Structure 1
Amino acid sequence: MRPDAIVIGGGLQGCSTALHLARRGLRVTVIEKDYVGRHASGVNAGGVRTLGRALPELPLSIAAKALWRQMEALVDDDCGFRPAGQIRVAETADELEGLGRRSQAVDALGLKHRETVIGQAALRRLLPAVAPHCLGGLHVADDGFADPFRTTAAFRRAAEREGVRIVEGAVVAAVTRPDGGSWRVTAAGERHDAALLFNCAGAWGGRLAAALGDPVPLAANGSMMMITARMPRFVGPVVGAAGRALSFKQLDNGTVLIGGGHRAPVDLDSNATAIDVRALSRAALNAAALFPIMARAAIVRFWSGIEGFTPDGLPVLGPSIAEPGAFHAFGFSAHGFQLGPVVGRILAELALDGAASLPVAPFRIDRFRRDPAPAGTVEAMAFPAE
């Protein structure tokens, strides 16, 4: 049957969008050039956090966390979500003061969301293995983490149960509007026609947006991570650092996942990713600086995923400016995983209701044309890495 909507991109954003559209009664086809969860959605650090979000993202992040708490009801799988808390550790008085300013800025928004400054004693209660020189931190008790690939697969299954058709291994060759009304997407020799088009193509989203007349300065990079052999349990919350590039968590099986924004080059045409061993060594040293027990850890695997980054670190989320009936959700800049469940709902609202229930104006795709360098307005109070 001819679909009502075509979603390009089978990552978490695409599968979430398909699910929410289908539950609003639409027939949906998802077109994925590789397989569902192949890129950033399946290989990220799995952070489920409101802590440190860029301030314009906080309303979306808070709404998304409410969905994470009900994930099993949403997709019949808890997706490995563990509300273990997240902490941003301060090693110096200046860092602790900066975290205090962040906490005050969040309180001033009046969103019923708190990022609580904790002192050294409270930090040690939450992180007994933390290095002695650490002075405190910023804490959100009900943040946590989940399993990225499991989550994306759960959204896929839920969408398919609602009748969504998912086409994998289908590179999009052309997107046109031959009759000025319906969209026509040609992929892997098959033609798909629909009234609505959704660009959830991740790092490739900029190319599709440009083809639709919505150019955006999107850069592609690889977010590198590594994981250790199993270790005795020594940390519960997800840990970041105020003065270091670090994202750090111990999984249920005892392994420790280390990330934090260390990038490597990628090739969008071949899906190739690289590993920068020197950058990974810095990540390992950062982990050992905060947790001396990590000096004895054995790294067993590392990898890099392909992600799209905008100049201001905020996603592109909303309708096309150039083409009615087209919508964008890409450029999540390595912190879109937690937002995935609510992004699909927002796109369904925009397409079917004409407005979103959450503020999306900061994510307009044309913001770079209006202000070519908007980064300073959000990055000063944000911690962008998962």
Structure 2
Amino acid sequence: MARTADVVIIGGGIHGCSTALHLALRGLKPILIEKDYAGRHASGVNAGGVRQLARDLLEIPLSIASMELWERIEELVGDDCGFSSHGTVLIAESDEELAGFRERVDDLHLRGLTHEELIDRAELKRLVPAVSDYCPGGVVSRRDGAADPFRTTQAFRRRAVEEGAEIIEGVTVTGLTRVGSNWRVETSDGAFEAPKVVNAAGAWADRIAAMLGEPVPLTVVAPMLMVTSALAPFIEPVVILRGRKLSFKQRENGTVVIGGGHLATPYRDRNETVIDWNKLALSARTVWELFPAMHEATIVRAWAGIEAYMPDGVPVVGRSSTSEGIFHQFGFSTHGFQLGPATGAVMAELVATGSTNTPIDGLGIERFRP
């Protein structure tokens, strides 16, 4: 016999675990099914950036709502998740690049969005003293910060269980069909039935969507990260570049995490990635040129996580376009970690009430229909 629940969630990353928690807080009984373990892929191995800065306009409402939850994350999940708020700085490497940043910030301010602030060279040097002198300025989002991604995902998982959610790991979904008023989720460990299902399967979410007759052009990617030996403290904010790919932050133990978008080769059916050391060398050279303090650092370790990337770079959040009772929450395109707390709350609200007060217009899966 199939096991039953109010909602079945497919996928145990931060988004699936956040949704499980927020559904449980609403008094529902969700079952979450994860083929590996919570945080095994993108949610547990990303750079941990908690940023509102440089978001697509469609994501900004979710990002703002999520930042409010990050600022009381310990109250929500019983763990501070290693969250620190020293801001995120987007560095301009030329006057032309700074002019482009100015246009975006001016546009955001006209829309009533003030979280991004243009800064000149003096303020950039005050915030990031170690940056090279040739940089003319940038943009700062002062409430932003960083957290420990695996610790955060586990905290959401743990609190969800405490609130009544059931988390089942090491089980793969093999089928999804309608049975009367319920959806039947076939798995490697038997069947589960619920009137509502949330597809939060990350880089495997397109396969779930295909079972519903709504294929999506999801690309499987594997962003690479590396970490250095410990250095004396020299930087507090998270630093990102747009011209050359870079994300950069120093942790409390002195090590520096370097990322920024260079990709490994993913093999999602084998749960494996192959590092591209030549591309990592490009990131290392960028850091060398931008931060003289890094000249003495050595690389200790490099890794990559498997993620889902959408053609327009923004996630799929909302109802299925073909199937009543199905909801999608995937495709966060290498920048979904910060969105996890609020997207779970929004999804729980949508599942439980049929609507949400947080605008998610433009994020639906129907945008990919012919």
Task: After TM superposition, give the deviation of residue 173 of structure 1 in Å.
Answer: 1.6
CA RMSD across the alignment:
1.0
Say whether the 8 Å CA contact 1:316–1:364 is kept in structure 2.
yes
The residue that corresponds to 1:375 in the other structure is: none
| Aligned-partner Cα distance in 1 for 2:41–2:129 | 35
Give the 5 Å matches for 1:1-386.
2-111=4-113, 113-179=114-180, 181-369=181-369
| Aligned-partner Cα distance in 2 for 1:23–1:335 | 26
Task: After TM superposition, give the deviation of residue 108 of structure 1 in Å.
Answer: 1.7
Say whether the 8 Å CA contact 2:214–2:369 is kept in structure 1.
no
Say whether the 8 Å CA contact 1:216–1:366 is kept in structure 2.
no
| Aligned-partner Cα distance in 1 for 2:174–2:101 | 47
Residue type of the alignment partner of 2:91: V
Task: After TM superposition, give the deviation of residue 369 of structure 1 in Å.
Answer: 2.2
Task: After TM superposition, give the deviation of residue 39 of structure 1 in Å.
Answer: 0.3
Task: After TM superposition, give the deviation of residue 274 of structure 1 in Å.
Answer: 1.1
Task: After TM superposition, give the deviation of residue 294 of structure 1 in Å.
Answer: 1.4
Task: After TM superposition, give the deviation of residue 188 of structure 1 in Å.
Answer: 2.1
Task: After TM superposition, give the deviation of residue 293 of structure 1 in Å.
Answer: 1.7
Task: After TM superposition, give the deviation of residue 114 of structure 1 in Å.
Answer: 2.7
Task: After TM superposition, give the deviation of residue 313 of structure 1 in Å.
Answer: 0.2
Residue type of the alignment partner of 2:69: L
Say whether the 8 Å CA contact 2:36–2:171 is kept in structure 1.
yes
The DSSP-based 3-state class of the residue aligned with 1:185 is strand
Mean alpha-carbon deviation: is it higher for 27-36 or for 240-249? Answer: 240-249
Residue type of the alignment partner of 1:279: K
| Aligned-partner Cα distance in 1 for 2:270–2:241 | 34
Residue type of the alignment partner of 2:94: T
The DSSP-based 3-state class of the residue aligned with 1:289 is helix
| Aligned-partner Cα distance in 2 for 1:308–1:242 | 20
The residue that corresponds to 1:382 in the other structure is: none
Residue type of the alignment partner of 1:104: D
Cα distance per residue 1:273-327 (max 9 Å; x no partner): 1101011000111111110121221000000000000000010000001100000
Say whether the 8 Å CA contact 2:198–2:328 is kept in structure 1.
yes
| Aligned-partner Cα distance in 2 for 1:22–1:331 | 24
Instruction: Name the TM-score, length of structure 2 as normaliser.
Output: 0.98
Say whether the 8 Å CA contact 1:95–1:242 is kept in structure 2.
no
Residue type of the alignment partner of 1:10: G
Residue type of the alignment partner of 1:318: G
Task: After TM superposition, give the deviation of residue 139 of structure 1 in Å.
Answer: 0.7
Residue type of the alignment partner of 1:332: F
| Aligned-partner Cα distance in 1 for 2:287–2:341 | 30
| Aligned-partner Cα distance in 2 for 1:2–1:173 | 17
Instruction: Name the TM-score, length of structure 1 as normaliser.
Output: 0.94
Q: What is the number of residues matched between the two proteins?
A: 368
Task: After TM superposition, give the deviation of residue 106 of structure 1 in Å.
Answer: 1.3
Residue type of the alignment partner of 2:359: P
| Aligned-partner Cα distance in 2 for 1:91–1:314 | 26
The DSSP-based 3-state class of the residue aligned with 2:306 is strand
Q: Runs of 5+ in structure 2 lacking a partner?
A: none
Say whether the 8 Å CA contact 1:173–1:187 is kept in structure 2.
yes
Structure 1 runs (4+) greater than 2 angstroms displaced: none
The DSSP-based 3-state class of the residue aligned with 1:56 is coil
| Aligned-partner Cα distance in 2 for 1:144–1:105 | 23
Say whether the 8 Å CA contact 2:115–2:142 is kept in structure 1.
no
The DSSP-based 3-state class of the residue aligned with 1:346 is helix
The residue that corresponds to 1:378 in the other structure is: none
| Aligned-partner Cα distance in 2 for 1:299–1:264 | 17
| Aligned-partner Cα distance in 2 for 1:107–1:41 | 31
| Aligned-partner Cα distance in 2 for 1:321–1:363 | 12
| Aligned-partner Cα distance in 2 for 1:313–1:195 | 31
| Aligned-partner Cα distance in 2 for 1:202–1:109 | 31
Task: After TM superposition, give the deviation of residue 76 of structure 1 in Å.
Answer: 0.8
Residue type of the alignment partner of 1:291: F
